[in-house]
Chain A
Amino acid sequence: MSAVTEVPSKLSPPPGRAGGRKRGGLNEAHGRWASYLITPSLVILGVVIGYPVVSAIIMSFQKDAGLDKATGLFVAGGFAGFSNYAHWLLQQCVSTTGVTSACPPGNLGAQFWNAFGTTFFFTAVTVVLETVIGMWMALIMNRAFRGRGLVRAAILVPWAIPTAVTAKLWYFIFAFNGILNSVLGAKILWTSDEWAAKFAIIIADTWKTTPFMALLILAGLQLIPEEVYEAGVMDGASTVQRFFQLTLPLVRPALMVAILFRVLDALRMFDLPQILTGGGGGTGNATTTLSILVVDQIRQGFNSASALSTITFLVIFIVAFLFVRFLGANVVQTQANQQKGVLK
């Protein structure tokens, strides 16, 4: 768990402030007070989040209790080792008699790598689109123009409304006789054709989240001092040069944090495909993400579902770790700066 030790080192407050917060007047009574203030929050999180996660991990190593088909006797659960994990990662199914074999087609276990691929495909495509379009929108919004406040509020609406509404909204836009096909003059089966369904999800998600991305990038842009651009103009840099050599490097910290949070969120995607294409789409699993697969599995076996949810958790954790480690997404520091930018 080196991630646990890695991130806190990046959590340290900006230099010059570290000592400022800890004052001489801090005595033992105050310290006790502070503990009292923070304990209720920790207890609630421990009970409502910590305990279920640990207990899900324990469940993932247990066998489902049930009737043995061969003997008709009730079989208690018991320790299952890694068989629930093998079910997903290696598509191995264990029959009630204890024989391990490859899962039959149509079994949810066989869908794991497909769902894994779909989840990462959605994540990669939506985050790239949202970042590029979001950057463009942020650059526009960073200029002073008539009605800027209104624009900022209006584009946030898609982000703020319930995803259930977003999904229903696009369901009708994507309908066979719907407005999109009629505008395009096309006859695309948006919610049932395999690739069209994937792109329907991507379009709807991009619509919903790009404005939010733009807002986060804007917060970073507003930190860049005007003089930097003036100097760039004096040196005769073109607009394109200024963007790649001044704006992009300066906005990078804010961008990395925004991308990190978007990636973590996209990896958990559930609501949109679940409602828009009924979870499946196309051949039945074109838009099945890992979270949807977990929910599907819950109806078939709890312990196996726990293994899948633990795998999903680990995948997200590893991605977050790699981000912080190799791309230098410095979450805490950037947010402190961003806040100052927005306060301006």
Chain B
Amino acid sequence: MRKIRSTLITAATWVLVAIFFFPIAWMVFTSLKTEGDAASIPPKFIAALSFDQYAIVFNRGMGSYLLNSLTASVGSTLLVLLLAIPAAYALSIRPIKRVQDVLFFFISTRFLPAAASILPVFFILKTIGALDNITALGLLYAAMNLPIAVWMMRSFFNEVPLEIVEAAQIDGANLRTELVRVVLPILLPGIAAVALICFIFSWNEYFLATLLTTFQARTTPPFLASFVDGRGQFLAVLSAASTLAVLPVIIAGWVAQKQLVRGLAMGAVK
């Protein structure tokens, strides 16, 4: 009886997973069809497959949008780590005065809709000639992810046993050696989680990208959103473009799956 029940639950779970995963599988499947097969009514479940649509997507210049996305995401993630690790360390291990105020300041930026600051940001970028500029966009992404990163990173720092730090101090290690040699190795999984989440958020960001870039610095999400084809049939090409946009996130998530799950639960971010 018990065994039957557990088998049923396992089966139900897999059905659930199938439902959640189906649209993505369908997208990948469609990207391998010809436009004719992709547009057929009712939808075809068996079709000839090829990578032709991917060639078309790259011929239409998707490479440069992917590269822009990659630049902004990797650049902002590195900047966030550079800023967030020392800040979280200061907030966790060396309590500064008014630490609660600083923490509240960080979390309060989560109440903020991006729409609330977009206009002044637009005017500032226009004044300094940085509209449609991938460096400016990367910098904005860094600021967008910084509070979450500091917040998450601090939770990881709180897990570092104080005794280790104290032992290092007694040994006469100065603050910097203490940070690099003693604390960092314990924190590497945490850093991986923060980096992954910052990367995903930057890679997926649409609001700022669509309003602050036009062509030179256009990233993948706004490119996808405005993807239309004059000749009517473009479902297979669009699926190929979407699959390319999803791929880096899936790969990064797969590689660091455990860190991602852990980091999400800690940051409870989005």
Asked whether any CB of chain A lies closer than 8 Å to the CB of B75, the reply is no
Asked whether any CB of chain A lies closer than 8 Å to the CB of B139, the reply is yes
Question: In the complex, are the beta carbons of A168 and B224 less than 8 A apart?
Answer: yes
Asked whether any CB of chain B lies closer than 8 Å to the CB of A189, the reply is no
Nearest CB of A to B254, in Å: 7
Asked whether any CB of chain B lies closer than 8 Å to the CB of A95, the reply is no
6 more A-B residue pairs beyond the given contacts A56-B120, A211-B20, with a C-beta to C-beta distance below 8 A? A12-B100, A48-B121, A161-B250, A182-B41, A215-B261, A309-B113
Look across to chain A and name the residue whose beta carbon is closest to the beta carbon of B102: A38
Which residues of chain B from 66 to 124 have a CB within 8 Å of any chain A CB?
83-84, 86-87, 89-97, 100-121, 124
Asked whether any CB of chain B lies closer than 8 Å to the CB of A326, the reply is no
Nearest CB of B to A54, in Å: 8
Look across to chain A and name the residue whose beta carbon is closest to the beta carbon of B18: A154
* 9-residue interface stretch from A86-94, A120-128, A291-299: A291-299
Contacts of B111 in A (CB 8 A): 264, 313, 316-317, 320
Asked whether any CB of chain B lies closer than 8 Å to the CB of A45, the reply is yes
Question: In the complex, are the beta carbons of A25 and B155 less than 8 A apart?
Answer: no
Question: In the complex, are the beta carbons of A165 and B95 less than 8 A apart?
Answer: no
Question: In the complex, are the beta carbons of B101 and A8 less than 8 A apart?
Answer: yes
Per CB-CB distance, the 10 closest pairs between chain A and chain B, nearest first, are: A219-B265, A48-B143, A52-B117, A52-B120, A37-B86, A164-B221, A34-B90, A37-B90, A162-B204, A8-B100
Question: In the complex, are the beta carbons of A309 and B245 less than 8 A apart?
Answer: no
Question: In the complex, are the beta carbons of B140 and A48 less than 8 A apart?
Answer: yes
Asked whether any CB of chain B lies closer than 8 Å to the CB of A16, the reply is no
Contacts of A290 in B (CB 8 A): 113, 115
Nearest CB of A to B91, in Å: 7
Contacts of B142 in A (CB 8 A): 44
What mask results when residues 234 to 255 of chain B are scored 1 for a CB within 8 Å of chain A, else 0? 0100100010011001100110
Question: In the complex, are the beta carbons of B43 and A179 less than 8 A apart?
Answer: yes
Question: In the complex, are the beta carbons of A38 and B86 less than 8 A apart?
Answer: yes
Question: In the complex, are the beta carbons of B112 and A4 less than 8 A apart?
Answer: no
Contacts of B225 in A (CB 8 A): 164, 167-168, 274-275
Contacts of B41 in A (CB 8 A): 177, 182
Which of B115, B249, B265 is close to A268, meaning CB atoms less than 8 Å apart?
A: B115
Which residues of chain A from 232 to 271 have a CB within 8 Å of any chain B CB?
257-258, 261, 264-265, 267-268, 270-271
Nearest CB of B to A261, in Å: 5
Known: A48-B143, A164-B206, A342-B262. A30 touches B94 (CB 8 A): yes
Look across to chain A and name the residue whose beta carbon is closest to the beta carbon of B100: A8
* 9-residue interface stretch from A63-71, A102-110, A140-148, A192-200: A140-148
A177 to B257, CA, bound (A): 37
Which residues of chain A from 299 to 344 have a CB within 8 Å of any chain B CB?
302, 305-306, 309-310, 312-313, 316-317, 320, 331-332, 335-336, 338-339, 341-343
Q: Mark B residues whose CB is within 8 Å of A.
A: 6, 9-10, 12-14, 16-17, 20-21, 23-24, 26-27, 30, 41-43, 83-84, 86-87, 89-97, 100-121, 124, 139-140, 142-143, 146-147, 150, 155, 158-159, 162, 166, 169, 175, 200, 203-204, 206-207, 211, 220-222, 224-225, 227, 235, 238, 242, 245-246, 249-250, 253-254, 257, 260-262, 264-270
Contacts of A211 in B (CB 8 A): 20
Residue among B6, B13, B41 with max Cβ neighbours from chain A (10 Å): B13
Q: How many residues of A contact B (CB 8 A)?
A: 106
A212 to B121, CA, bound (A): 31
Question: In the complex, are the beta carbons of B112 and A53 less than 8 A apart?
Answer: yes
Asked whether any CB of chain B lies closer than 8 Å to the CB of A40, the reply is yes
Which of A48, A145, A152, A155 is close to B9, meaning CB atoms less than 8 Å apart?
A: A145
Question: In the complex, are the beta carbons of A339 and B155 less than 8 A apart?
Answer: yes
Asked whether any CB of chain B lies closer than 8 Å to the CB of A156, the reply is yes
Contacts of B30 in A (CB 8 A): 172
Question: In the complex, are the beta carbons of A8 and B103 less than 8 A apart?
Answer: yes
A169 to B92, CA, bound (A): 42
Question: In the complex, are the beta carbons of B100 and A51 less than 8 A apart?
Answer: no
Question: In the complex, are the beta carbons of A165 and B224 less than 8 A apart?
Answer: yes
Asked whether any CB of chain B lies closer than 8 Å to the CB of A112, the reply is no
Look across to chain A and name the residue whose beta carbon is closest to the beta carbon of B227: A168
A220 to B10, CA, bound (A): 21
Asked whether any CB of chain B lies closer than 8 Å to the CB of A129, the reply is no
Contacts of A295 in B (CB 8 A): 115, 118, 211
What are 5 A-B contacts defined by CB distance under 8 Å?
Answer: A30-B175, A45-B147, A158-B23, A182-B41, A294-B113
A270 to B17, CA, bound (A): 27
Contacts of A309 in B (CB 8 A): 113, 115-119
A304 to B142, CA, bound (A): 28
A325 to B43, CA, bound (A): 51
Look across to chain B and name the residue whose beta carbon is closest to the beta carbon of A13: B158
A246 to B106, CA, bound (A): 34
Asked whether any CB of chain B lies closer than 8 Å to the CB of A188, the reply is no
Question: In the complex, are the beta carbons of A316 and B113 less than 8 A apart?
Answer: yes
Known: A268-B114, A343-B262. A161 touches B246 (CB 8 A): yes
Question: In the complex, are the beta carbons of A22 and B95 less than 8 A apart?
Answer: yes
Contacts of B250 in A (CB 8 A): 157, 160-161
Known: A35-B96, A51-B120, A268-B114. A182 touches B224 (CB 8 A): no
